Structure 1
Amino acid sequence: MEEDLLLYIIINELCDDEMQHTSKKRIIWAKEWYQNRAKFSHSGLMKELRISAPDDFKNFLRMDGKTYDELLNKVRPYIEKQDTVMRKAITTNERLSATLRFLASGQSFEDLKFLTAISPQSLGTIIIETCHIINEVLKEYIQVPKTNAEWVNVSDEFERKWNFPNCIGAIDGKHVEIIKPADTGSYYFNYKKKFSIVLFALVDANYEFLVAEAGANGRTSDGGVLSNSLFYEKFKNNKLNIPEYGNLPNDFPEPMPFVLVGDDAFPLKRNLMKPYRETKLSNEQIIFNYRLSRARRIVENAFGILASRFRILLNTINLSPEKAARITLTTCYLHNFLRRKNPSIYLRGSVDLENINTSEIQLAPWRTESQQLCGLESTIARNSTAAAKETRRKFTTYFNGVGTVPWQIRYIDNNA
């Protein structure tokens, strides 16, 4: 009996050793085709596109080869990894191009692995890290004006291009859909019955972001997004060096405050103009709304361009709100970067065009797409101050008096 028991123990130990040995043999660093990344990844495709089809290269990464090289040189010192004795590191080119393709296409990590020959787990780490670095190296491309003179320059551009003097920016907010975060209840649940974070932005007359803040929960209304933003906290406390008053062109008799422009959901304030919303508007009020809309369309087009270039914003992002916010901000930094590097190419065919001779507006292609960024909903009725109403009244007087533009009468005739 004792001999049988001893033999049983020995056999079991031998079996355990064999199982452990087999288990250890099966441990590998990665799937074999991942290890052949140089053969199977998109790097070869990029080289070919760059030589034979530069337009396709631009569509692939949303930028031309020269601009890509410049961005690669900016991020290289921060994302470059060293090879080890066990395996070769994923190169800086592969890291950046995978990130840009993720932003451009909106593909999931699981789908992107077939293009990049990088595992979904590694992609999840690489893309978030690279987005963080892009935001850091491009931080100069989104800057709030710091001096009175810089704010006046923004205002001068709105007057020159869109005939709205003393305007220092157009504001708006959009929902970016996300998967419901764990243990958050309805905190991110928006009026469209989806979960989202909010991107709030201030845009200048050239479709560039002066302010981009992402991460507010989807339940927030337009007014809430504004009042809870870091920008507005400084704005209302006079910490942005914005001039208090400026003179309107054509010898308008009274100095006027510098203002933001927004849509109907935002509150009317002394420094924030919104349209009249009465059902029966006078011709003077219609003209004000028309002139306001010309300036406000800039932020609408900026968001439209952003989403059409970076399709990740039109998909449901399956990441935490914090990571989704980082990705969203990366698209804004890239938008400004590309807008300045290739302004005519980046905006070509992407914005509303107005024929001032006929008052007809040719809508930008993004407006006809089935997928668009969802706007915010105003849920609170607000009583405006007398000072706010008086400021709007004076702008109305200006637009219908010494500040008239010749084609606004045709606008009324064609929209009567």
Structure 2
Amino acid sequence: MREREANQRASETENEREHRLAATREREANWRASETDNEREHRLAVMRERLTNVPVRQRMKGSIDWQLQERDTASNVWWNNVVLRTFNQQDWLDNFRMSKETFLYICSKLSPALARTDTLMRKCLSVERRVAVTIWSLATPIEYRTIAHLFGIARSTVCEIVHETCRCIVDVLLKEYIKFPTNNRLSTVVEEFKTKWGVPQCFGAIDGCHIPISAPNLMHTDYYNRKRWYSMLIQGVVDANYRFLDVCVGWPGSVHDARVFAQSTLYDNIEHHHILPNNTITVSGVRIPLYLIGDSAYPLKLWLMKPFAHNTDLTSDQRNYNYRICRARITVEIAFGRLKGR
């Protein structure tokens, strides 16, 4: 019967073939239009089961299912066979700037927001690979094209994953790990500054840092900083152990540090007594409140100390004060240096 049908199709003209295919498509459209939702779900389930049970080598080369299987296999080669099987702890630190344990911990925290489901057309990328693509992009100065080759995905997919994962990191991890200390935690920070750096009542060191960027198309002169390159400013406050307590990101590079500080949420909260308790100590008959330390770019306030200007004659006490303030303020510079090093 199959041989007779094959002979009939071989001998039919072009018009007969078109007529037969049109009739077949019409019958199939009428049949699918009349089927119920349960019948449709059953038909799709049978199709999925058949595709799953057929070995890859028996599938027609060039078919959609064959292409999807080949694409999935190619995208997993480097990740599964090189990273997961051969990378030791030093390889993880060199390439991802963190240990494997830290990487898996980040994946577990971001999993609820980044997890995706498989579809009939393709398998989704796992949370681990999404995070790996993002960290690899942030940790290495290479373009999306190279990352796409490594992970076996498209360049547009790399771009989408990096932006999506960064947004998840900000939404999920920022509020948990970068937050202003309160109550017992604030007392611990103050005590650590006194013990390690010799400055009492200090609860943080503040400074700004320029992050290099490509010149934007709009208002690019606003991002041209005093060092003669384009940048975006990040303001940070760190504790005595170089851990960030507060960040303010997004101002153009030409803006002065003092203006960024005056417009930040941190300034508003401290100025209006929203976050700092009224804890004071007496030193040489003077009541000392809690305070930040910054460089000469910042304004002098009751809760912000900065060094005396070096272009004047200083007494020995003033020079000693400058030494202690600058020595403690180096914590924020070290923190930014570590951040850039990663």
TM (norm. structure 2) is: 0.75
Partner of 2:298: 266
Partner of 1:145: 181
Partner of 2:82: 45
Partner of 1:204: 239
Which of 278, 291, 302 aligns to 1:243? It is 278
> 2:179, 2:246 within 8 Å by CA — same for their partners in 1?
yes
Which of 319, 325, 329 aligns to 1:292? It is 325
Deviation at 1:41, TM superposition (A): 3.3
Residues 374-412 of structure 1 deviation map (CA, whole Å, 9 limit, x = unaligned): xxxxxxxxxxxxxxxxxxxxxxxxxxxxxxxxxxxxxxx
The CA RMSD measured in Å over matched residues stands at 2.7
Residues 229-265 of structure 1 deviation map (CA, whole Å, 9 limit, x = unaligned): 11111111111133252334xxx33221221111122
> 1:199, 1:214 within 8 Å by CA — same for their partners in 2?
yes
Residues 151-201 of structure 1 deviation map (CA, whole Å, 9 limit, x = unaligned): 333211100111100111000011112122222242222222322211101
Within-5 A mapping of 1:98-109: 98-109=133-144
Which of 158, 168, 173 aligns to 2:203? It is 168
Distance 1:119 1:285, change over 3 A: same
> 1:207, 1:302 within 8 Å by CA — same for their partners in 2?
yes
Which of 43, 58, 68 aligns to 2:93? It is 58
> 2:75, 2:151 within 8 Å by CA — same for their partners in 1?
no
Instruction: Give the distance between the partners of 1:233 and 1:34, measured in 2 at CA.
Output: 53
Matched position secondary structure for 1:197: strand
Deviation at 1:31, TM superposition (A): 11
Deviation at 1:33, TM superposition (A): 8.0
Instruction: Give the distance between the partners of 2:143 and 2:307, measured in 1 at CA.
Output: 40
> 1:151, 1:242 within 8 Å by CA — same for their partners in 2?
no
Distance 1:77 1:259, change over 3 A: same
Higher Cα radius of gyration = 2
Within-5 A mapping of 1:15-414: 35-50=72-87, 53-138=88-173, 139-147=175-183, 149-243=184-278, 245-248=280-283, 252-279=284-311, 280-309=313-342
> 2:75, 2:153 within 8 Å by CA — same for their partners in 1?
no
Q: Read off the aligned partner of 1:135 and give its amino acid letter.
A: V
Instruction: Give the distance between the partners of 1:86 and 1:198, measured in 2 at CA.
Output: 43
Matched position secondary structure for 1:255: strand
Residues 93-144 of structure 1 deviation map (CA, whole Å, 9 limit, x = unaligned): 1101111111111322123222222222111111111112122332211111
Percent identical pairs in the alignment equals 32
Q: Read off the aligned partner of 2:307 and give its amino acid letter.
A: P
> 2:242, 2:334 within 8 Å by CA — same for their partners in 1?
yes
Extract structure 1 runs of 4+ deviating beyond 3 A.
30-43
Question: Which ranges of structure 2 fall in alignment gaps of 5 or more residues?
Answer: 1-61
> 1:145, 1:151 within 8 Å by CA — same for their partners in 2?
yes
Q: Read off the aligned partner of 2:85 and give its amino acid letter.
A: E
Instruction: Give the distance between the partners of 2:114 and 2:154, measured in 1 at CA.
Output: 18
Residues 58-81 of structure 1 deviation map (CA, whole Å, 9 limit, x = unaligned): 222122222222211111121122
Deviation at 1:307, TM superposition (A): 0.7
Distance 1:136 1:43, change over 3 A: farther
Partner of 2:47: none
Instruction: Give the distance between the partners of 2:137 and 2:150, measured in 1 at CA.
Output: 11
Instruction: Give the distance between the partners of 2:224 and 2:139, measured in 1 at CA.
Output: 26
Q: Read off the aligned partner of 1:243 and give its amino acid letter.
A: N
Instruction: Give the distance between the partners of 2:107 and 2:197, measured in 1 at CA.
Output: 36
Instruction: Give the distance between the partners of 2:167 and 2:114, measured in 1 at CA.
Output: 10
Matched position secondary structure for 2:286: coil
Partner of 1:9: none
> 1:188, 1:195 within 8 Å by CA — same for their partners in 2?
yes
Matched position secondary structure for 2:229: coil
> 2:68, 2:122 within 8 Å by CA — same for their partners in 1?
no
Q: Read off the aligned partner of 2:188 and give its amino acid letter.
A: N
Q: For this pair of structures, how many residues does the alignment match?
A: 280
> 1:171, 1:202 within 8 Å by CA — same for their partners in 2?
yes
Which one has a larger percent helix, Structure 1 or Structure 2? 2
RCO (CA 8 Å, sep 6+): is it higher in 1 or 2?
1
Q: Read off the aligned partner of 1:200 and give its amino acid letter.
A: Q
